[in-house]
Structure 1
Amino acid sequence: MDLLNQVRAAGVIGAGGAGFPTHVKLDASADYILLNGAECEPLLRVDQQLMALYPDDIIQGLAAAGRQVQAGKAIIGIKGKHEDVIRILKDHIRLLHLEDYVKVGILPDIYPAGDEQVLVYELTGRVVPECAIPLAVGCVVINAETALNVAHAAVGKSVTETYITLNGDIPRPITVKVPVGVPVKDVLLLSGIKNLDEYGVINGGPMMGSVMDAYDGYVTKKNKGFIILKKEHYLIRKKMMTFDQARIVGRTSCEQCRMCTDMCPRYLLGHNMQPHKMMRVIKYTPNDAESMKIAQLCSQCNLCEMFSCQAQLSPRAVNVWCKGKLREKGVKYTPFKETYTPRESRSYRLVPSKRLIARLGLTPFDGAAPLTEIHFDPQEIGISLQQHVGAPAQPVVKVGDVVTEGQLIGEIKEGSLGAAVHASMNGTVANITEQIIKIKVGAYV
């Protein structure tokens, strides 16, 4: 079985992002394969620790992916502040005799260095066009955990685990390896908080993550972190604002200062993304689809909303609303040029991570969250059939079947976009719906 089919069979997806199936991404030809090790979301600590602990697997996974896409060069993107990890990576690249193929590329400590279009520019000098993906400029991007999973797939190991950071206003900041399907509540309790009633939990990073309204779900391959803060914390209150509230405040308070645009990472790369114009649309022409088309260029990094706007308005929320309206009307933005050059102002409008963390009120919590071995013993796990972009996996087991860790329980139809799913623990299938397969685990059967 070649690497592409091994990755497909293992159910490898983009870890921590939208969950795009990796076998589809690697079915291409590119000049560069890039590893996104920026981990630019504040307080998350997964990728930097994985690169230090499993450098051989990650380097070999990246190199294998690079060979699959016929890339002439593989570059690991990592922030220069991680000096110890950089030294480890360089030492192991040399020990693996891959120094002619794999290089370490140093990223500035800015947000959002991990945005794949920012990453492509910082590592290669190429600008991804509007409405395009990195492949348009000869690049394929995977992250550190995905590279680790590619290496595992090459030896027949399916994706049954994910790595998650717990951080925030908690007694025990920690990073753990979690079997896919473990109840989210079991993971949250590792924080040392026993009663979450007074807390808000952000699923993901503090910038792009959203506040959870319930904790009765199950861990998926995409989970990367949970940020736990008191409900009165600015970040929780800001993220819990409804769109109607944001719209009303925006209509009455936006001064059109255009700071949201002047500091937008995509605008600074030369794109036509201009959030201040979307604030104008919501105020004066909310039914004019033509005026809101540029909203489709938004990456939803949330810098405009959480840092740039001095009035603490919600340009990102407005962009999301405009995107929804455009989908309803079937309207799409058409790029007006083919080549892009970063704006001259870019070099002095980059946002330092420490400055962002301070603005978010997270400085007291910006410490280590060490990777710690934890044994999980849930009574039941829930394997979502759609942990990825594309169609849900189709069950290949039935209620009452005994399954073992790593066994295929959901496959994708030939020719469809999706990813296979596997049992992460031994047990017995207890229930199957269109969304999830629930498995009674071990002694609890």
Structure 2
Amino acid sequence: MSLLEQVKEAGIVGAGGAGFPTHVKLASKAEYILLNGAECEPLLRVDQQLMALFPDEIIKGFEAAGRQVEAKKAILGIKGKHKDVIDLLEERIKALHVEDYVEIGLLPDIYPAGDEQVLVYELTGRVVPEVGIPIQVGCVVINSETALNIYYAMEGKAVTETYLTLAGDIPQRLTVKVPVGTPIIDVLKLSGIENFDDYTVIDGGPMMGPVMAGTDGYVTKKTKGFVILKKHHLLIQRKSASKEQSKRINRATCEQCRMCTDMCPRYLIGHDMQPHKMMRALGYKSDNLEEKGIAQLCCQCNLCELFACPIGLYPKAANNYFRDMLLEKGMRYKPTKDVFEARGPREMRKLPSKRLIARIGLRDFDKPAPMAECPLQVQEVHIATRQHVGAPAEAVVQVGDRVEVGQKIGQIPADSLGAAIHASISGTVTECGNGYIAIRRG
């Protein structure tokens, strides 16, 4: 079985972000393969610890992926502040005799260093075109856990578990490995909190992760962490503003200072993303949607709302307002050029992570979340048939079937983009429908 078939069979998707199927990404041919080990979201601690705990496996999986796409060079991107991990990786690269192919690329400790297009620029100096993807400039990007999963796929192991961090205003900060489909509430209780009435949970990092309406739901392959904060925390209040609230405030208050644009990571790498123009457009009754197409260039990093705006407005919400309108009309932004260059002031406008953490009120919680053995003995999992970009997986089991860990329970529909799913515990299928396959242990 080829590596591509192994990766497809294992159901590997991007471990974080949108969850793009990795076998599709590795079907490309590229000049560079880049490993995204930036983990730029405040408080999350998965990638840095995986690289320390499994350096050989990650390097081997990364190298194999690079050979698959015929890359001339494999660059492992990691922030320069992780000196101990860097030393270990350099040692293992030499021990594995791949130093002529795999190298370390040092990243600054900025936000959002882990944005795929920012990462490409930092490691190669190339700018991905507007509404483009890295392969357009000869790059394929995967992250640390994806590289680890590729190694396991080479050993015949499917994706049945994921690593995630619990952080925030909690007694126990930790990083754990849990079965895909684990009830989120069971994971949250590992934080040392039993009653969440006074808390709100962010699904993912504090910048881009959405505020959860409750503690229901189940872990997916791309779950990377939960940030737990008191309901009155300013960050929770800011992220909980409704569309109508943010729209009303933006219309009434924006003074067109341009800070949202001048700090925008996509604007700084040369794209035409200009949030202040979307803020301005809210105040006018223009029917010309085409001139608002730049809203589709927003990468949703939230830097404009949570850091750049000096009076706490909602530029990202303005972008999203027009994005939704464009989507409704089936309109898509068309770049006016093919080659892009980073803007001159970029180097002076990079946002240090520590400064961001202080601004959003998380400095007291910016502490280690060490890897720990998960004490959970999950009795029932609900594995989503769609936890990736593309079509939902089609069930290949039915209620009453006995399944074992690693057994395929959902396949990619014919001629579709998607990913297979596998049993994360051994047991009996108790539900098969409504977007989930449920398995009860024993």
Cα contact 1:410–1:420 (8 A) shared by 2 = yes
Cα contact 1:281–1:291 (8 A) shared by 2 = no
Give the Cα–Cα distance (whole angstroms) in 1 for the partners of residues 108 and 190 of structure 2: 32
Alpha carbons of 1:286 and 1:407: their partners in 2 closer, same or farther (altered >3 Å)? farther
Q: Please state whether the residue corresponding to 1:284 is helix, strand or coil.
A: coil
- 2:149 maps to a residue whose letter is N
Structure 1, residues 130-188: CA drift from partner, whole Å, max 9, x if none?
A: 11100000000000000000111111100000001000000000000011011000000
Structure 1, residues 192-230: CA drift from partner, whole Å, max 9, x if none?
A: 111100001000000000110122211100100100000
- 1:199 maps to a residue whose letter is Y
Match of 2:91 in 1: 91
Q: Alpha carbon RMSD of aligned pairs, Å? A: 0.8
Gaps of 5+ in 2: none
| Cα distance, 1:287 vs structure 2 | 4.3
Q: Please state whether the residue corresponding to 1:120 is helix, strand or coil.
A: helix
Structure 1, residues 93-136: CA drift from partner, whole Å, max 9, x if none?
A: 00100000000000000000000100001000111111110000
Match of 2:319 in 1: 319
| Cα distance, 1:331 vs structure 2 | 1.1
Match of 1:379 in 2: 379
Give the Cα–Cα distance (whole angstroms) in 2 for the partners of residues 252 and 82 of structure 1: 44
Match of 2:34 in 1: 34
Match of 1:227 in 2: 227
**2:333 is the alignment partner of 1:347:** no
Between stretches 321-330 and 158-167, larger displacement belongs to 321-330
Q: Please state whether the residue corresponding to 1:210 is helix, strand or coil.
A: coil
Gaps of 5+ in 1: none
Cα contact 1:385–1:434 (8 A) shared by 2 = no
Cα contact 1:396–1:410 (8 A) shared by 2 = yes
Give the TM-score, by structure 2 length: 0.99
Match of 2:168 in 1: 168
Q: Which aligned runs of 4 or more in structure 1 are off by greater than 4 angstroms?
A: none
Give the Cα–Cα distance (whole angstroms) in 2 for the partners of residues 285 and 186 of structure 1: 49
Give the Cα–Cα distance (whole angstroms) in 2 for the partners of residues 72 and 283 of structure 1: 50
Q: Please state whether the residue corresponding to 2:383 is helix, strand or coil.
A: strand
| Cα distance, 1:415 vs structure 2 | 2.2
| Cα distance, 1:286 vs structure 2 | 6.0
| Cα distance, 1:434 vs structure 2 | 3.8
**2:364 is the alignment partner of 1:358:** no
Equivalent positions of 1:133-144 (< 5 A) are 133-144=133-144
Cα contact 1:34–1:75 (8 A) shared by 2 = yes
Alpha carbons of 1:243 and 1:364: their partners in 2 closer, same or farther (altered >3 Å)? same
Give the Cα–Cα distance (whole angstroms) in 1 for the partners of residues 287 and 302 of structure 2: 24
| Cα distance, 1:330 vs structure 2 | 1.1
Give the Cα–Cα distance (whole angstroms) in 2 for the partners of residues 119 and 286 of structure 1: 36
Give the Cα–Cα distance (whole angstroms) in 2 for the partners of residues 191 and 29 of structure 1: 43
Cα contact 1:268–1:345 (8 A) shared by 2 = yes
Match of 2:47 in 1: 47
Give the Cα–Cα distance (whole angstroms) in 2 for the partners of residues 322 and 406 of structure 1: 43
Give the TM-score, by structure 1 length: 0.98
Give the Cα–Cα distance (whole angstroms) in 2 for the partners of residues 268 and 298 of structure 1: 12
| Cα distance, 1:273 vs structure 2 | 0.3
Aligned sequence identity (%): 63
Match of 2:23 in 1: 23
Equivalent positions of 1:298-337 (< 5 A) are 298-337=298-337
| Cα distance, 1:289 vs structure 2 | 1.0
Give the Cα–Cα distance (whole angstroms) in 1 for the partners of residues 289 and 370 of structure 2: 48
Equivalent positions of 1:139-150 (< 5 A) are 139-150=139-150
| Cα distance, 1:288 vs structure 2 | 3.2
Q: Please state whether the residue corresponding to 1:162 is helix, strand or coil.
A: strand
